[in-house]
Amino acid sequence: MLPLNSINLRDFLGEVFFATADKEQYMRYIVPLQGNWWAPTESDNETISTWIGYNIVTDESYLRARPFHNATGDILLQTCLAKVHLQFIGKDAESLAHSVLFWDERQDVAEAFYRFAGQLMYEKRRIIPTSYYQDGQNSTLVQNIDFRFLHAEVVDPKQTVLTGVEIGGEVII
């Protein structure tokens, strides 16, 4: 079971959208959303010309932690609810965004969530098209969609207690 973070989420998205033997060549098209994200433009030299931006919007504890025994010993599992935002830009943006609407019906997507001990929330998802302005130079239409899923996080029952904090160069215990 993997923790939910940007690296593991990126691998998940690569498996869902580019489930091919040569998946690695497409992974460069999956990037975390950030303020200076370069909006790619269509080019004859690109093999895909569609980029997928993503970020974890929220990740919150959902249920109380529960004891669980596995091969390594006793652990605590915390059920969490995560919300992920996807933004598609490029020539296949609409079709890729629409594919997320039907993840409920895809067995490969359900299996991909297994890495997080997760399950897609069976609820309404909607596509919201918006304009993306590239530093005022040009604009393009992007497709935005969010999805939520339950996943498990391992809680270390032997966590060390915070014994002090540094504020303004002074350690307070």
Whether 63 maps to a domain, the answer reads yes
Cα gap 14→23, rounded to integer Å: 7
Whether 62 maps to a domain, the answer reads yes
- The whole domain housing 27 covers 6-172
Which pair of structure tokens corresponds to residue 20?
Answer: 């091919």
pLDDT digits (tens, 9 = 90+) for 51-103: 899 999 999 988 788 888 878 778 888 999 999 999 998 888 999 999 999 99
Q: Provide the pLDDT for residue 52.
A: 92
Q: In degrees, to the nearest 5, what angle opens at C-alpha 114 toward C-alphas 100 and 60? A: 75
Whether 34 maps to a domain, the answer reads yes
Whether 123 maps to a domain, the answer reads yes
Whether 83 maps to a domain, the answer reads yes
pLDDT digits (tens, 9 = 90+) for 108-158: 999 999 999 899 999 999 999 998 876 666 678 899 999 999 999 888 767
Top-confidence residue, 162 or 107: 107
Which pair of structure tokens corresponds to residue 69?
Answer: 């025994």
Whether 49 maps to a domain, the answer reads yes
Number of domains in the chain: 1
Whether 1 maps to a domain, the answer reads no
Q: Provide the pLDDT for residue 80.
A: 94
Q: Provide the pLDDT for residue 135.
A: 63
The count of other CB atoms within 10 Å of the CB of residue 39 is: 18
β-pairing verdict for 73-90 and 127-134: unpaired
Whether 153 maps to a domain, the answer reads yes
pLDDT digits (tens, 9 = 90+) for 3-45: 999 999 999 999 999 877 777 778 888 999 876 655 555 555 6
Q: Provide the pLDDT for residue 39.
A: 53
Cα gap 61→154, rounded to integer Å: 12
CB 63 within 8 A of CB 50: no
